Chains A and B, each alone.
Chain A
Amino acid sequence: MSILVSQRVISDEIEKIHAGEALGDPQPRLDFAPYRSAVLRHPARSLRYADPEGAELVAPVFGFTDVDGLESDLTIGGAGEPIGERIMVRGRVLGGDGRPVRRQLVEIWQANAAGRYAHRRDQHPAPLDPNFTGAGRCLTDEQGCYSFTTIKPGPYPWHNHHNAWRPAHIHFSLFGTDFTQRMVTQMYFPGDPLSAFDPIYQSITSERARARLVAAYDHDLSRHDFLLGYRWDIVLTGRHATVMEDDDA
């Protein structure tokens, strides 16, 4: 078993990389050693520039036969109520041109309120919740809006370094209108003190870009006696395919 380095060592490495980038990169650096798992899993050569063709220009299509409306409520899968702070996360999926991404699939997964995933490889000593699996799906509506009812996930420890803790987050999987817009990311919560220490979040060297992963508390979304609301909009990269007329509506 390898000896884990301290948070100080990781934080120093992060600081050094950030200081070396005047403007900061708005997308995560793939070569980011403070996240130890990236060391052998990032391409060393630069990406090849290509013009998208054929299947790259057309995202897969999903419909109401694919996704049940109930899949957007992660609190109703069990026999009882899951433990934790009930929340709604809502926002819009937009293309880089600002157009809403309509009727498209959004998938999420997350830890439970205690910071435990319903996954066999998560073995940290926090309880599983029999009423919460933490996986959900929905289709965006005509305005590109998605909405999930869930439980606020807890932070959890991991073994990147000694005393490493992931800030609370929800994983998002997103499609656009081109397949080139496909992306997976993580949504964080405002004011999380763990974000500063987290090498995954800090792999985005632009502070402004990091802030784009943080949801906003939205009191108008909160519901009396029931849940707290968070709003998080997602902008995909630019599309290439010719825009069809009905998208102008």
Chain B
Amino acid sequence: MPELTAPDLAATPGQTIGPFFGYALPYPGDRELVPGGSAGSVRLHGYVYDGEGNGVEDALLEIRQADTSGAVPAVSGSLRRGGAPFTGWGRSSTDADGHYWFSTVEPGPAGPGSAPFFAVAVFARGLLNRLFTRAYPPAGPVVLDADALLASLDAAERRAMMAVREADGSLRFDVYLQGPRETPFLSFPGHLR
């Protein structure tokens, strides 16, 4: 086994994804967890905005989610999706307007007392480390009120973590990196140092 150069096991710092990931990280089918327009599919989409409300044209979003039954798939095949089972992970870069989209299914709840959500990781040029948030699909107050994270937020923050159902059935979730509508971003116990 090779010698460790990092014996103290302190976490390696993150750095910005920079402007030039576009020829390396995106790949064909990256944002299609299920084929677009297929039966039972839903479009999750939105914009990433900076502190002045401009679309962020060089951001990358990843989602991690349960399937419709609430089970989180642990199967390979995300990078070559042809015929692969639902992997519950996808990646979408933003376009010139800051728009991203995924074709996926609506997640089921992780367990009793938790509302279904898409886990979201956000990367961008200018963003020095990744950010985590959640996009909750609309649900009834009984479901949402029972969710530990949503229950800890004020009304505006809670709204900012809810995806909105559009007329065509799509889910719209915008990410505000900064500003009056700033998205709540999450820190998990394992991130503490």
Question: Which A positions have Cβ atoms within 8 angstroms of B?
Answer: 26-30, 32, 35, 37-45, 47-67, 90-92, 94, 96-98, 105, 107-109, 111, 117-119, 121-122, 133-135, 137, 143, 145, 171, 173, 178-186, 200-201, 203-204, 208-210, 212-213, 215-216, 231-240
B186 within 8 Å of A by Cβ?
yes
Known: A40-B177, A47-B186. 10 other contacts (CB 8 A): A26-B10, A30-B129, A39-B126, A40-B50, A66-B80, A171-B20, A178-B190, A179-B64, A182-B121, A238-B191
**Number of B interface residues, CB 8 Å?**
84
Flag if A109 contacts B21 (CB, 8 Å).
yes
Q: With a CB–CB cut-off of 8 A, which chain A residues contact B127?
A: 30, 38, 41-42
Q: Shortest distance in angstroms between B121's beta carbon and chain A's nearest beta carbon?
A: 5
Q: With a CB–CB cut-off of 8 A, which chain B residues contact A59?
A: 64
The residue in chain B whose Cβ has the minimal distance to the Cβ of A35 is B128
Flag if A236 contacts B11 (CB, 8 Å).
yes
Flag if A38 contacts B187 (CB, 8 Å).
no
Question: Which B positions have Cβ atoms within 8 angstroms of A?
Answer: 1-2, 4-6, 9-25, 50-52, 54, 56, 62, 64-66, 70, 72-80, 84, 87-89, 107, 109-111, 114, 117-119, 121, 123-132, 148-149, 152-153, 157, 177-179, 182-193
A204 to B52, CA, bound (A): 25
Chosen A-B contacts, 21 in total, with CB atoms closer than 8 Å, are A26-B10, A27-B193, A28-B14, A32-B128, A37-B126, A40-B126, A44-B182, A47-B186, A51-B149, A58-B88, A59-B64, A61-B73, A65-B84, A107-B24, A118-B23, A119-B22, A171-B15, A171-B17, A180-B191, A183-B130, A236-B12
Q: With a CB–CB cut-off of 8 A, which chain A residues contact B72?
A: 54-55, 57-58
Q: Shortest distance in angstroms between B38's beta carbon and chain A's nearest beta carbon?
A: 20
The residue in chain A whose Cβ has the minimal distance to the Cβ of B191 is A237
**CB < 8 Å neighbour of A234 from B6, B73, B152, B191:** B6
Q: How many A-B Cβ pairs are below 8 Å?
A: 283
Flag if A213 contacts B20 (CB, 8 Å).
no
A26 to B1, CA, bound (A): 27
Interface of A is mostly: loop
Q: With a CB–CB cut-off of 8 A, which chain B residues contact A47?
A: 131, 185-187
Flag if B178 contacts A43 (CB, 8 Å).
yes
A28 to B15, CA, bound (A): 7
Q: Shortest distance in angstroms between A146's beta carbon and chain B's nearest beta carbon?
A: 11
Also in contact, A119 and B20, with CB within 8 A (given A42-B128, A184-B123)? yes
Kindly name the residue among A47, A111, A203 whose own CB sees the greatest number of chain B CB atoms within 10 A.
A47
Q: With a CB–CB cut-off of 8 A, which chain A residues contact B65?
A: 55
Flag if B23 contacts A27 (CB, 8 Å).
no
Flag if B183 contacts A54 (CB, 8 Å).
no
The residue in chain A whose Cβ has the minimal distance to the Cβ of B48 is A41
